[in-house]
Amino acid sequence: MARAEQYWLDGTRVVVTGGGTREPIDPVRYIGNRSSGKMGNELALAAASVGAEVTLITATDPTPSLEGIEVVGVDTAAEMHAALLEWLPGARILIMAAAVADYRPARISAIKIKKSTGALTLDLEPTEDILASLRQSGLRDGIFVVGFAAETQDLVANARAKLHAKNLDLIVVNDVGRDDIAMNSDFNEVIVIDETGVIDEIARAPKHEIAAAILRDIHARLR
């Protein structure tokens, strides 16, 4: 294989987000999800393996195998948004693999909320739509944007709706209702969709193989 083909992202800046954000309730509790960050880690590694200069913005602890990748740690959706505002300029590709919380507590208690015998009610407010904000600011202009959709039903229909609503170039959807793939698993099984419909169905495999296949789909679109 020619070097130009093997290292097709040589010198290109790629930003990847990963992990599940944690929205604080009080100093010890938070609203979160089951995302392990493994898919984001593997996508960052896959991009680096074909020559990209990679920044991984992650809401989980990165693994030691990410040597050579710029790792930016965040906790909340707001912090991930702020990190993207800082690190996205100059990038050619953005891969939004993070499981960003849709809601956060409207008020954060400065002290630990004590357990009582009564019910506890939390008022939630929407987190910022990161992709919409980046689009409105113009920071996404000229960037190839790949989104992820975690679904439990109507995978293709829901993913296509998100692709158009977020104005994405590609979207990767997986079934998070299954125990053998996706969140907190070393395996995944995904469908890749662009504006024309399904372009790839990647069967269950270790996440590093899934990541490599997704990068090949990106390569095909960019060519």
* 174 falls within a domain: yes
Residues contacting residue 109 through CB under 8 Å, at least 6 positions apart: 25, 26, 27
Domain assignment present for residue 170? The answer is yes
What is the reported pLDDT for 4?
A: 61
Residue 119 lies in a domain: no
Rounded Cα distance between 20 and 13, Å, is: 23
Let me know if residue 112 belongs to a domain.
no
Active site residue 188: no
pLDDT of residue 2: 54
pLDDT of residue 148: 97
Q: In this structure, is residue 115 part of a structural domain?
A: no
Q: Is residue 108 part of a domain?
A: no
Q: What is the CATH number of the domain that holds 18?
A: 3.40.50.10300
* DSSP type of residue 99: B
Full residue range of the structural domain in which residue 45 is found: 10-101+127-222
pTM, full prediction: 0.94
Work out how many domains the chain is built from and give that number.
1
- The answer to whether residue 23 is domain-embedded is yes
pLDDT one digit per residue (tens) for the chain, 223 residues:
455 678 999 999 999 999 999 999 999 999 999 999 999 999 999 999 999 999 999 999 777 778 889 999 999 999 999 999 999 999 999 999 999 999 999 999 999 999 998 999 999 999 999 999 999 999 999 999 999 999 999 999 999 999 999 999 999 999 999 989 988 899 999 999 999 999 999 999 999 999 999 999 999 999 7
pLDDT given at position 61: 79
Asked, for residue 190, whether it belongs to a domain, the answer is yes
| Cα separation values, 200 from 44, 134, 156, 218, 221, Å | 20, 27, 12, 11, 12
Q: What is the pLDDT of residue 40?
A: 96
